[in-house]
Amino acid sequence: MIAKIKNHTIDLSKPLDISIPLRGDASNVNAWYIGPPKITPHTEGEFVGKVSKGASTNFNDIWFNPHAHGTHTECVGHITEGFHSINQNLNRFFFLAELITIAPEKYQDDFVISRKQLQYALGNKKREAVVIRTLPNLKEKLSKQYSHSNPPYLLEQAARLLVAKGVKHLLIDLPSVDKEKDNGALLAHKAFWDFDGDLRKQATITEFIFVPNHIEDGKYFLNLQVAPFENDASPSRPVLYKIES
């Protein structure tokens, strides 16, 4: 199926899914010091919600944390005292996006994504969304246990550059845009959402994506859909579409 968006043609039959599926066991990707997600048959009395156990349907309970257990999209409500819902604030779902690949550079005792790296990768491009794939890009990202590993993150000035360029939706293949242990500073989150100014309520951050190596850097249309949870964050399924013309 061919569609036209903003005078660009995309083939809807060729989606490029960049989400990480959620599995109910310890092989699931994980961060933030909690156990793995669980997907288990509901039990009540003698009832077990599993066809192979005699039930008429499979009837599973699912326990997970959107921030810790896979691809999720969050709004400014992630860091505000007042409540803001991703389901209310994300009300458009197609965006012109730029996919860039960056090898985080050494900074003090960490590896980071800097303003200079983003400026070089984006140049003068104007995009609503930026998708960051980090190197090395290994399939281990689909099941990596990130707790206490000090993964790479964005420097505050890198986040400010994205705001200056008009980027409203940031997607990255790391558990957070901020340093794992920063005593609650959250400098990149706060900069991207203009926490101390005019809150960018429609801006989103999507973490824990995975962009396979066969997907080339460049311009795409992004379809960013979230499960309709009234929460600061929700599981999401970002999908890229190559622009045909």
> What are the residue ranges of helices labelled H in the chain?
86-89, 115-122, 156-164, 187-192
Alpha-carbon gap, residue 69 to 157, rounded angstroms: 28
Question: Which band of pLDDT confidence, cut at 50, 70 and 90, is reported for residue 4?
Answer: confident
pLDDT digits (tens, 9 = 90+) for 46-76: 999 999 999 999 999 999 999 999 999 999 9
Q: Could you confirm whether domain 2-20+70-242 is CATH 3.50.30.50?
A: yes
Alpha-carbon gap, residue 114 to 107, rounded angstroms: 9
What's the pLDDT at 245?
73
pLDDT digits (tens, 9 = 90+) for 14-24: 999 999 999 99
What's the pLDDT at 8?
80
Question: Which band of pLDDT confidence, cut at 50, 70 and 90, is reported for residue 141?
Answer: very high
Alpha-carbon gap, residue 71 to 64, rounded angstroms: 12
Question: Which band of pLDDT confidence, cut at 50, 70 and 90, is reported for residue 2?
Answer: confident
Domain boundaries, the chain: 2-20+70-242
Closest CA relative to residue 209, chosen from 129, 127, 120:
129
Other Cβ atoms within 10 Å of 212 Cβ, number: 11
